[in-house]
Amino acid sequence: MKNYLVILSTGLLLMIGSCKKKGNSVETPDPPTTIPPTTTPTTTPVETNPPNSRYSAAFTGQTRISAVKTTTSFTAQVLTSSLTAPWGIASLPDGRFLVTEKGGNMRIVTASGQVSAPLSGVPAVNGGGQGGLLGLCLDPAFASNRMVYWSFSERLSDGNVTAIAKGRLSSAGTAMENVTVIYRATPAYNGVNHYGGRVTFDRDGNLLASIGERADNATRQMAQYFTATLGKVIRINTNGQSAAGNPFLQTGPRTEIYTIGHRNPQGLAVHPVTGDIWQSEHGPRGGDEINHLKAGGNYGWPIITYGLEYSGQPVGEAQQQREGMEQPVYYWDPVVSPSGMTFYKGNRIPEWENNLFIGALSGQHIVRLVISDDRVTGEERLLSSEGQRFRDITQGTDNALYVITDGGRLYRIDRN
C-alpha cells in the first residue's frame, strides 16, 4: 500500500500543474455563435426528476443545462431488429457496418439492414453479467490493411479480464483472420461487472481502451492504483505496448495508463476539430459523467463523485471536488447510463455539427449535447418514445447516424 501512495502523490503533483492551465482556458466566455440559430434553446432542463443527492455542481451548467431542440426535420428508421444484444458498431468504408454482439458474435450489416452470419475466427468470450464481446474500432488504415480491434471479457485461470484483440477482416468479409490478444487488463478478478469495453484510435494512431474497475469493493479502490489497470483509460500501440508519449512512461509501473480514477467507462470519442479524447462513464446512483480526458488526469473515482451508493449512502467521504482531481464536464443525477458515443461531423444536419451524441441505456434515449470550450451549453433527448436501451452510435459514410440497441435494433437517423 505504501508504494501505491507514493506513486499516487507523484501523480497528484503532476496533475496540479495541468489543472492550473485548464483553469485559465475555461475563463474565456462562450462566443455567441456556439448554438446555431436553427436550434431553439429553452430555459428548462430536459431532466425533470429530482436528483438523488443534494450535492452542488462545481460550476454552473455542469448538470441540468437548458434544453435545446433540433429544428431540422429528421427521421429515425429501423434498418433491422434481428441483432442479438449488439454492443459495438463500426462504419466500414464500403457503407456497411461491423457489429459486435455481447454473446460473442461479430456480424456485418448492410446499409439496407441485411445481417450476415457470424464471422468465423472470433475467440470465445465470457458473456456472464456485463461481459461479452464489447466495443470495436477499425484501424485508421483499414482500407489497405483490413485490421479490426475489439474489447471483450476473457476468462483466465485466475479470473476475468477486459482484453483487447486484433484481427484482419477476410477479403470475403466472412472471417477474422490471424486473431491476436494484444492486451489484458490487470489484475484478473472473479466478477462479471464493470468491464468498460470501448476502444478507439487517437490521431497519433494509438489505441485507447476504457477499462472498468470491476464493480466490487474488493477492486473499486484499484481505480486509484498505478499498479492496476482497472478503472483506467489506457493508450497502447497496435501491438499492445505502451504508446509513445504516454504520461507515466517515466514513472510507471503501468506505463500504458493514460488516465485514472474511472468507474465503468463505456464511451470514448475523438473530437473532430481538436482531436481530443472524450469519455462517458456510468456513475452509481447519480453521477454519470462526460469527461474531457487529459493525459495523466485523475478523474476521481471512488474518491470524488456526484453519485450515491445504490443503498443511498454516500460514496467514501461524500466528496465531489478535490484538488488534483478532474471535474466532469457534465454529469447526470438521476442517471441515464451513458454508453457508446460519437461527435457528429456530417453536413446533413448543420445544427448538429460537433455535437456529442451518446447512447443512454436506462435513460432509453439518445443524448445530444451542445458543447463549447469544455462547457455543455444545451442538452436534448432523442428517440425517447422508442423504449430502447441505446448502446452505441457511429456515423456512416453517408453522414447519417447509426445507433444499436440492446433490444437488437439498428437505427439510421438522418434529415428528411
Active site positions, annotated: 194
Region for residue 354 given its phi and psi (left: phi exceeds 0; alpha: psi -120 to 50; beta: otherwise) = left
Q: How far apart are CA 340 and CA 356, in angstroms?
A: 11
Q: Is 183 in the site for Ca ion (CB under 5 A)?
A: no
Q: DSSP characters for 69-136?
A: E--S-EEEEEEES--SSEEEEEE-TTS-EEEEETTS-EEEE-TT--BPPPPBTPPP---STT-SEEEE
Footprint (CB under 5 A) of Ca ion, residues 285-304 = 299-300
The nearest distance, CB 238 to Ca ion, in angstroms, is: 29
Q: Which is nearer to Ca ion, 88 or 302 (CB)?
A: 302
- Tell the smallest beta-carbon distance from residue 204 to Ca ion (Å): 25
Asked, as a colleague might, if the bond just before 253 is cis with ω within 30 of 0, I would say: yes
332 binds Ca ion (CB under 5 A): no
Judged by CB under 5 A, how many residues of this single chain contact Ca ion? Answer: 2
Q: Which residues contact 157 (CB under 8 A, 6 or more apart)?
A: none
What is the DSSP track for 13-37? Answer: HHHHHHHHHHHHHTTSPPPTTSS-T
Kindly tell me the sign of the dihedral angle through the C-alpha atoms of 200, 411, 408, 178. Answer: negative
Q: Closer to Ca ion at the Cβ: 102 or 198?
A: 198
Interface mask toward Ca ion for 9-48; x: CB under 5 A: ----------------------------------------
Nearer to Ca ion, 87 or 299 (CB): 299
Output the smallest distance, CB 299 to Ca ion, in A: 4
Query: Which amino acid belongs to residue 408?
Result: G
Q: From the centroid of its chain, how far is CA 369?
A: 14
Per CB under 5 A, 212 contacts Ca ion:
no
Q: Report if residue 330 touches Ca ion, rule: CB under 5 A.
A: no
CB of 391 to Ca ion, least distance (A): 22
Quick check: 331 binds Ca ion (CB under 5 A)? no
Minimum distance from CB of 328 to Ca ion (Å)? 5
Binding status of residue 363 toward Ca ion by CB under 5 A: no
CB 262 within 8 A of CB 233: yes
**Closer residue to Ca ion, CB minimum distance, 288 or 351:** 288
Hey, which residues between 300 and 329 contact Ca ion (CB under 5 A)?
300
Closest CB to Ca ion among residues 189, 299:
299
Angle subtended at Cα 378 by Cα 372 and Cα 383, rounded to the nearest 5 degrees: 125
Using CB under 5 A, list all residues that contact Ca ion.
299-300
